[in-house]
Amino acid sequence: MYSILEARELTDSIYEFVVKAPNVAANCEPGQFVIVRTHEDSERIPLTICDFDREKETITIVVQIIGAGTYMMKDLKAGDAFADFVGPLGRPSELIETPIDELKKKRILFVAGGLGTAPVYPQVKWLHEHGVDADVIVGAKTQSLLIMEKEMAAVAGNLYITTDDGSYQRQGMVTKVIEDLYNEGKEYDLCVTIGPMIMMKFVCLMTKKYNLKTIVSMNPIMVDGTGMCGACRLTVGDQVKFACVDGPEFDGHLVNFDEAMKRQQIYKTAEGRAYLKAKEGDTHHGGCGNCGGNE
C-alpha cells in the first residue's frame, strides 16, 4: 500500500495527492508517469508525475475526475492509501538528457492547457533548478479551472495566463498568446506543449508557421500504460508508435493528430476496440516496449 500524505481539491473536478513512494521518487524524472490503482480490483490509471521529492520519498499526482476509476479517488484523504503505485514509466523529457550549457542557450516556451499544467510544471521546475529560464503559457476555459498558478509563477521565466472567457488576465486560446508573443518580437528555439489533443494540434499548426520545434505529450490517449491494450497507438511520421512505451513525448509536427483523435473515439466502445484490433493486426499492441511497437 502507498500512503497518501496530503490530499487537496484544486477545482471542482481536479484533485492533488502527495504519495509516499520511495522507489518511484528515487528513480523518476520529469516527463514520466505512474500507474495507480485505488483498490486491488479497481481500474489501472496512468497519471503523469506532477512533482517529486527524493529526500521525502514522495510523488505528487494530479487527477481529474472523468470516469469510474478516478471517481473513486475524489474522497481519498491524508492517511488513506493506494493499492498500487507503479513507476516510473515512459521516457523522461528529452530536456533531461540535454547538456545544461546547451539548454541555457535555448529560448524555451511551454504551453499548458487545463490539466496539462500538472505535467508541464516538473519540467519547468527542473530547468529552473538548473539555472535555465523558460516562458510558460497556461490556458483554461475559465479562472475557476486554473491550477498551480503560484507554483508555476515561482519557476517560470515569464508566465502568461489566458482564459477562453476572459475571466482572468488575457482572453483567448493559447495559440493567440503564441502569436502575440511573436508579434511583440519574442522568438523561441523549442516549444513543449501538453494538454487536450485538440489544443496540442492547433499549437503545432501555429508553431509550424514559425519553424519552431515542438514536443507534445500523448499521455491523454493512454489507458493501460504498458503497451498491451493498444489504446495509445499513433502514427508519428511514417512509423507506428505507442505513447506509453515509446513516449509519452513526441515531435508534434510529425504526430497525426486527426488519426489519433478519431481512433480515441472509436476505442471507447467494445465494438470499436474489436474493430481496431482486427484492422491493425500485429501493430495493434505495443508489447513490452522493446520492439518499437512492431513497426
Looking at 217, 244, 269, the residue that finishes a domain is 217
Q: How many domains does the chain have?
A: 2
Distances, alpha carbon 263 to alpha carbons 138, 222, 225, 234, 235, in Å: 27, 12, 17, 9, 11
CATH number, domain containing residue 148:
3.40.50.80
In angstroms, the CA 289 to CA 294 distance is: 9
Q: Tell me: do 198 and 182 sit in the same domain.
A: yes
Contact 222, 215 (CB under 8 A): no
Q: Tell me: do 98 and 160 sit in the same domain.
A: yes
CATH number, domain containing residue 81:
2.40.30.10
Percentage above 90 pLDDT, the chain: 44
pLDDT at 204: 94
pLDDT at 223: 66
Q: Tell me: do 180 and 205 sit in the same domain.
A: yes
Q: Tell me: do 102 and 179 sit in the same domain.
A: yes
Read off the pLDDT of residues 168-186 as tens digits, 9 standing for 90 and up.
888 889 999 999 999 999 9
End-to-end CA distance of the chain: 37
Full domain range(s) for residue 24: 2-89
Read off the pLDDT of residues 1-29 as tens digits, 9 standing for 90 and up.
889 999 998 988 889 999 999 999 999 99
State the chain's maximal CA–CA distance in angstroms: 54
Read off the pLDDT of residues 54-90 as tens digits, 9 standing for 90 and up.
999 999 999 888 877 788 888 889 999 998 898 888 8
Q: How do 134-140 and 158-163 pair as beta strands?
A: parallel
Looking at 217, 237, 267, the residue that finishes a domain is 217
Q: Tell me: do 204 and 105 sit in the same domain.
A: yes
Looking at 72, 89, 106, the residue that finishes a domain is 89
Q: Tell me: do 42 and 78 sit in the same domain.
A: yes
Distances, alpha carbon 22 to alpha carbons 11, 57, 167, in Å: 28, 4, 40
Q: Tell me: do 112 and 213 sit in the same domain.
A: yes
Distances, alpha carbon 201 to alpha carbons 163, 259, 287, in Å: 18, 11, 27
Q: Tell me: do 154 and 81 sit in the same domain.
A: no
pLDDT at 108: 95
Q: Tell me: do 114 and 173 sit in the same domain.
A: yes
Any domain includes 137: yes
Any domain includes 213: yes
Q: Tell me: do 99 and 195 sit in the same domain.
A: yes
Read off the pLDDT of residues 126-141 as tens digits, 9 standing for 90 and up.
999 999 999 999 999 8
C-alpha cell read off for 278: 482486427
Amino acid occupying residue 261: M
Taking alpha carbons only, the member of 242, 237, 224 closest to residue 291 is 242
Read off the pLDDT of residues 191-246 as tens digits, 9 standing for 90 and up.
999 988 899 999 999 999 999 999 998 877 776 666 666 677 788 888 888 777 78
Q: Tell me: do 85 and 124 sit in the same domain.
A: no
